Amino acid sequence: MRITDTSDLWWKTAVVYCLDVETYLDWNGDGCGDFAGLAQRIDHLADLGVTCLWLMPFYPTAERDDGYDITDFYGVDPRLGTHGDLVEVIRTANDRGMRVIADLVVNHTSAEHPWFQRARQSRDDPFHDFYVWRDDEPPDTSDQVVFPDQEDSIWTYNEPTQEWYLHRFYKEQPDLNVADPRVRDEVAKIMGFWLQLGLSGFRVDAVPFFLETQGDQDDRFPEPHQYLRALRSLLGRRTGDGILLGEVNLPHEQQVTFFGGEDGDELTMLFDFIGMQALYLSLARTDAAPLGKALAQRPAVSPDSQWATFVRNHDELTLDKLSDDERQEVFAAFGPDEDMQVYGRGLRRRLPPMLDGDPRRIRMVYSLLFSLPGTPVLFYGEEIGMGEDLDAEGRLAVRTPMQWTSGPNGGFSTADPDALPGPVVDGGFAPEFVNVADQRHDPDSLLSFMKLLIRRYRESPELGWGTYSILEQPHPEVFAHLCSWDDGTLVAVHNLGPEPRVVPLALDDCGADHRLVDLLQPGETPVGEEGAVELTLDGYGHRWLRVVAPGSRRLV
């Protein structure tokens, strides 16, 4: 069936760009990025082709977890600006055709949040039940902590009330008790507040932990997913077309329940963690099979749901869904030194250094990302190939200041380097070699290539809306797939290996009267009888080709 009105499902073909205001651009010279600086760079994002800006936490914080330990859910960190500054960013982005979403972090608060400061003083305080407590000494839960190098239990003793409180993350981040209806009401109010200021939705942090309940409190919250449906419904009433982009790093069969199953009435999009991890295993092995298997095993989802694809995010590059042996393969290929790894399960590196700065391989991976079925998500700096700072603690290695120019502090700030949130990357990926200003004027730069990829992605609704199939071919290092939607078909072929390959393909429903037109470079490939095609791929080569039927009036 032809779908004629897709405006409410804008996220199906969006390009999402994640950034931390603190590390993006300092406009007042105090060393900290701010909303005023971000407003000055909205045009950079619009020129890149971004259609959805995802803001990492900008709320007041105790600074224990890089902004994820929030002390006021309704506030703006004064270092970053005011509510007025945020609204100006949203207005400017909307004016450029860009929507804005923000992190919704409601699994926990900071221990310095006024709610917890009251809750921890007395069992009789009205806010005490906002959190999860236990009277008896907890068993060993060291295998359940999220940050095993920082915590050895998910419970911490609270002296005033003589009981333990739950924290899946740092002990300075006590978990909220979603079983309490007042907490659920507060979450709805928090969402409503920021939607009223112009947000188009949220990236929802740690969703499975948020919906967990404990012990005898479950009778007040018998169906957690009903609450998630209520939040999706609230979002729909307030915005009409807003999104909930969920962090749910679980096996496929469990992820589907967070979409809302066939109804698609819970989270709008989920990150494809399994596909991302399989991609790195394929890169490490120079074998497309793991990625192909992960995509083939993706469960079918409702038309009102979508997978979000990514190469890098703001956290550690988790490899927890790989087997121990598979994880070690990826470590050996891309993070052999212990300080490149984190928590025993992931990497704290960016893609370009992992690929030794090889521009052929870097471009091939991003071409693959944008051609995969789903909605692509970029982390700031990916568009220019930024590196990491392995001297930084943990996940902060990839959260370094954005590199705008080759000047002092990479053009991020005019302040003394000691005043910055962290050092600017040095070495071969320093601003001297990697920055926006230089790449804007270089037609052969990674930035120029990313603009082309995004433009072609935006012109190819098959990638966001269509069905896909993996095409058989004889080379294990080559990944070939086809996406179709309405009257359009796109073929993408990627060589994960360094040697050139000639790839034979058989395209169903095609004949010698069809054309196969390259989208990333000039040229066409002839189609033989019964859809027989031979494609030439360079080492780490990549090609997108549109199948053009006889008489088609499509622009290619």
Is residue 205 part of the annotated active site? The answer reads yes
Give the chain's radius of gyration (CA, Å).
Answer: 24
Among the listed residues 203, 173, 152, 166, the one whose alpha carbon sits nearest the alpha carbon of residue 65: 173
Is residue 412 within 8 A of residue 33, CB to CB? The reply is yes
Q: 135 exposed, middle or buried (CB, 10 Å; 0-12, 13-18, 19+)?
A: exposed
b/e sequence 445-473, b meaning 16+ C-beta within 10 Å: bbbebbbbbbebbbbbbbbbbbebeebeb
Residue 303 burial (CB < 10 Å; 0-12/13-18/19+)? exposed
Q: How far is CA 497 from the centre of its chain?
A: 26
Compute the half-sphere exposure of residue 52: CA atoms within 13 Å on the CB side of its CA. Answer: 27
Please report how the helices 273-285 and 324-334 are oriented relative to each other, as an axis angle in degrees rounded to 10.
60
How close are the terminal C-alpha atoms of the chain, in Å? 23
CB 514 within 8 A of CB 549: yes
Q: Which DSSP category does 14 fall into?
A: -
Question: In the annotation, is 329 catalytic?
Answer: no
Question: What is the three-class DSSP state of 300?
Answer: coil
Instruction: Please tell me the distance from the alpha carbon of residue 551 to that of residue 275, in angstroms, as a whole number.
Output: 37
Active-site choice (180, 205, 265, 316): 205
Task: State the pairing for strand pair 16-19/375-379.
Answer: parallel
**Out of 247, 287, 382, 383, which one is annotated catalytic?**
247
Judged on CB neighbours under 10 Å (0-12, 13-18, 19+), 357 is middle
Report d(CA 6, CA 344) in Å as an integer.
43
Q: Can you count the helices (H) and strands (E) in the chain?
A: 16, 22
Q: How far apart are CA 107 and CA 336, in angstroms?
A: 34
- The CA-atom distances, in angstroms, between 509 and each of 401, 506, 531, 547 are 50, 10, 7, 10
DSSP letters spanning 171-196 = TTSPBB-TTSHHHHHHHHHHHHHHHH
Active site residues: 205, 247
